Amino acid sequence: MRYHNITKDDMLNGDGLRVVLWVAGCAHCCKGCQNPVTWDPDGGLLFDEEAKQEIFEQLDQKYISGITFSGGDPLHPANRLDVRNLMAEIKEKYPDKTIWLYTGDSWEKILHYPLMQYVDVVVDGEFHIDELDTKLLWKGSKNQRVIDVKKTLASTNTDPSIPVLHVHDYGK
């Protein structure tokens, strides 16, 4: 996995103060994307032990609510396995920290991915410039959804024939 940046004390990409890992690689290439430099999966820097320690040092801080995976797209095939492994390690080491995930994929496409067991909130859907709304919290366009993964998976598991999506329309 490759990455472009690790942001500290971020308040824009999830609830509370967060550390954000901006991964390289995105196949969606949305018109008006805020991070087109992250589209190339071979761009940025190699995610190594030093980068992981930088994230863990942030997560060690009591005031940090958790980590957000963004990019690029953390679910790009070049990232998926490494992102899953990092999420598993974070959940084991920091069980009280939340994990947020931004992806251009839809919830319906990713809900069965093994890594979703580690995600607390997913912001799904491609960015649509024609649905841009700067008043929305944690998402850039009206089509995107902020999904409580744990509640949604628990509801869906009760009766798989009736999927219940727990979507928060923050900022409306």
Tens digit of pLDDT for each residue in 19-50?
A: 999 999 999 999 998 899 999 999 999 999 99
The residue that leads in pLDDT, 160 or 122, is: 122
Reply yes or no on whether the pLDDT at 154 is more than 60. yes
Query: Which residues, other chains included, contact 41 with Cβ-Cβ below 8 Å and sequence gap of 6+?
Result: 2, 24, 25, 72, 76, 78, 79
Poorest-pLDDT segment among 94-98, 116-120, 148-152: 148-152
172: pLDDT strictly greater than 50: no
Looking at every residue in the chain, the average pLDDT score rounds to 91
pLDDT computed for residue 163 by the predictor:
52
Q: pLDDT of 102-134, one tens digit each?
A: 999 999 999 999 999 999 999 999 999 999 998
Q: What is the pTM of this model?
A: 0.91
147 has a pLDDT exceeding 60: yes
Q: Which of 109, 137, 129, 111 is nearest to 31 (CA)?
A: 129
Across residues 13-18, what is the average pLDDT? 96
- pLDDT band at residue 170 under the 50/70/90 scheme: very low
Tokens at residue 113, please?
């991915």
CA distances 70 to 6, 78, 99, 172, Å, are: 10, 14, 11, 23
Percentage of the chain modeled with pLDDT above 90? 81
Element (H, E) at 2: strand 2-10
With beta carbons less than 8 A apart as the criterion, state whether 119 and 101 touch. Answer: yes
When pLDDT is cut at 50, 70 and 90, the band that residue 152 belongs to is confident
